[in-house]
C-alpha cells in the first residue's frame, strides 16, 4: 500500500468507501465540509492506495491543543 496526501479529486472515491463500509453519512461529509477540513489540516488527510485505487482513508485534526484521528 502506498500512502499519499488526499486531494479533492479523491472525494468521490472516499465517499464510496465510506458508504460501502456502512458508515452513516451526514452533512459533515458533504464535499463542501470535507474541503473545509482538508484545507484546515491538509497534511493530516491521507489515503492508502494499491495500484492507484484508494482502499483506505484517514483524517486527522488538530485544534491547537488536541489532536483527533
For 40-59, the pLDDT digits (tens) are 889 999 999 999 999 999 99
Question: Which one is the CATH code of 2-68: 3.40.50.1970, 3.20.20.70, 3.40.630.30, 3.40.50.12160?
Answer: 3.40.630.30
For 34, the grid coordinates are 470535507
Q: Which residues contact 22 (CB under 8 A, 6 or more apart)?
A: none
pLDDT at 61: 83
pLDDT at 20: 94
Residue with cell 489540516: 41
Domain ranges (residues) in the chain: 2-68
Q: Measure the CA–CA gap between 1 and 54, rounded to whole angstroms.
A: 9
H helix intervals, the chain? 11-20, 31-40
Question: What radius of gyration, in Å, describes the C-alpha atoms of the chain?
Answer: 12
pLDDT band at 67 (very low <50, low <70, confident <90, very high): confident
Is 65 a residue whose pLDDT tops 90?
no
Closest by CA position to 5, among listed 61, 67, 57: 57
User: What tens digit of pLDDT does each residue of 13-46 get?
Assistant: 999 999 999 989 999 899 999 999 899 889 999 9
Amino acid at each position: 500500500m502506498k500512502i499519499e496526501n488526499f486531494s479533492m479529486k479523491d472525494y468521490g472515491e472516499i465517499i464510496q468507501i465510506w458508504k460501502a463500509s456502512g458508515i452513516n453519512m451526514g452533512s459533515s461529509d458533504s464535499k463542501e465540509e470535507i474541503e473545509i477540513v482538508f484545507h484546515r489540516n491538509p497534511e493530516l488527510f491521507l489515503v492508502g492506495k494499491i495500484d492507484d485505487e484508494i482502499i483506505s482513508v484517514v483524517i486527522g485534526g488538530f485544534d491547537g491543543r488536541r489532536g483527533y484521528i
